């Protein structure tokens, strides 16, 4: 199965996530850890810069709008367009999502 793992973020750290790593750091960390943990899985990672990316899908634009409206926090992680985690990202929920798909 193919896994499209998207991390939505910005260069500025989320005000609610002061002690958490930044969005790009979270993206790089997830990419390294998940590729090492699941070498036989078809993982595709994408970082979506909420302030600079253009040509976003309607789904991406909706997620960003929800983050801007404070319904969700960033960094936000989706797997195959399912929201897995937002704000302070932890590994276990993401691993669970991969293993259940």
User: 73 lies in which domain range?
Assistant: 2-100
User: Tens of pLDDT along 40-82?
Assistant: 999 999 999 999 988 899 999 999 999 999 999 999 999 999 9
User: Tens of pLDDT along 31-45?
Assistant: 999 999 999 999 999
How does strand 82-86 pair with strand 2-9? unpaired
Rounded to 10 deg, the angle between the 91-100 and 23-37 helix axes is 50
Number of domains in the chain: 1
Look up the CATH number of the domain holding residue 79: 3.40.30.30
Token readout for 90 is 């932890």
Report the Cα 88 to chain-centroid distance in Å. 11
- The pTM is what? 0.91
- Between the CA of residue 82 and those of 3, 15, 94, what are the distances in Å? 11, 24, 11
């Amino acid at each position: 199965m193919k896994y499209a793992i998207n991390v939505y973020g910005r260069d500025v750290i989320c005000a609610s996530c002061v002690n958490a790593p930044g969005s790009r750091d979270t993206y790089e960390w997830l990419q390294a850890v998940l590729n090492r943990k699941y070498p036989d899985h078809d993982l595709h990672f994408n970082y979506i810069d909420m302030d600079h990316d253009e040509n976003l899908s309607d789904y991406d634009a909706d997620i960003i709008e929800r983050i801007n409206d404070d319904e969700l926090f960033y960094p936000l992680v989706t797997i195959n367009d399912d929201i897995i985690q937002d704000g302070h990202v932890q590994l276990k929920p993401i691993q669970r999502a991969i293993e259940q798909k």
